[in-house]
Amino acid sequence: MKNELFENLKELFLPLAALVAVIVLGFVAVPFLFDRIGILQEELAGVRADESVLRSRLQVLNGFATGAQSTSEKMILAFPGENSALSTISQVKLKAALGQVAVSGIKVGKGNTEGNISYADVDFDVQGPLTSTLAFLESLKKSAPVGSVREVKVTGIDESVGKSTITYRVYWSPFPQTIPSILAPLTDFSGEERDIIAALTALEVSGQTAVTANPPQTRTDPFGI
């Protein structure tokens, strides 16, 4: 009887051992396989996301490529990287000559910085009727570099020749030194930004309109001799 029991147990041992081995292998191998699959799926999603970002970036750049050179040059002139007061003074004199108003007492204030943008106030006096002064300021605002009228003090408005003291603010900001990573999303210009680009690239650059110098005037004899 003892022998029979031993024989029976021997008969059970192999299949039982095999089953246990398969179960243990399953508990070890299957999670490993699924884990590995999960890692690969994550990697694939990441690579596809990068590809999407790159394609979007390429599309934006291809859309901008036409006229990119001209646009960037005009934007630099409109909003320079360094103090633009001298360019503004040049425009003030040019526009005054064209607008037939007299400009004097040009002074440039100290540069200030607000955030990542710098500005300075250019003060000057304009002699002429208010309507001519208005037209002069309008033409100045349409000139590069970009600026804004901060204050106008007008005297003698009803006289044929009035006088205005104007404070005109000019802006500049250093250019970016680095380009964002190629994998960083690049968004195209919004409608509002395109309007700003159109407005800034339309600003007249000094030198586009020639101003002829007045010829020497005959000096009258002050003594009447």
Q: Which of residues 166-195 bind another protein (CB under 8 A)?
A: 171, 173, 175-176, 179-180, 182, 186, 189, 192-193
CA distance linking residue 59 with residue 197, whole number of Å: 19
Is the separation of the CB atoms in 150 and 167 below 8 Å?
yes
- Check residue 215 and report its DSSP letter: P
Residue 85 is which amino acid? A
**CA–CA gap between residue 127 and residue 153 (Å, rounded):** 12
> Burial code of 163-194, b = ≥16 C-beta within 10 A, e = fewer?
bbebbbbbbbeeeeeeeeeeeeeeeeeeeeee
Contact region with another protein (CB under 8 A), list: 29-37, 89-97, 101-109, 205-213: 29-37
> With binding defined as CB under 8 A, does residue 18 bind another protein?
yes
One residue of 33, 102, 161, 211 binding another protein per CB under 8 A: 33
Residue 103: CB atoms within 10 A of its CB come to 19
Q: How far is the CB of 148 from another protein (least distance, A)?
A: 5
Number of residues that bind another protein (CB under 8 A): 81
16 vs 102 by CB, closer to another protein: 16
12: contact with another protein by CB under 8 A? yes
Which residue type occupies 3?
N
Shortest distance, CB of residue 180 to another protein, whole angstroms?
Answer: 7
Give 94's contacts (C-beta < 8 A, 6+ positions apart): 143, 206, 209, 211
Q: Does position 124 bind another protein by CB under 8 A?
A: no
x-or-dash pattern for another protein, window 129-168, by CB under 8 A? -xx-xx--xx--x----x-xxxxxxxxxxx----------
Binding mask 49-88 for another protein (x = CB under 8 A): -xx--xx-xx-xxx-xx--xx-xx--xx-xx---------
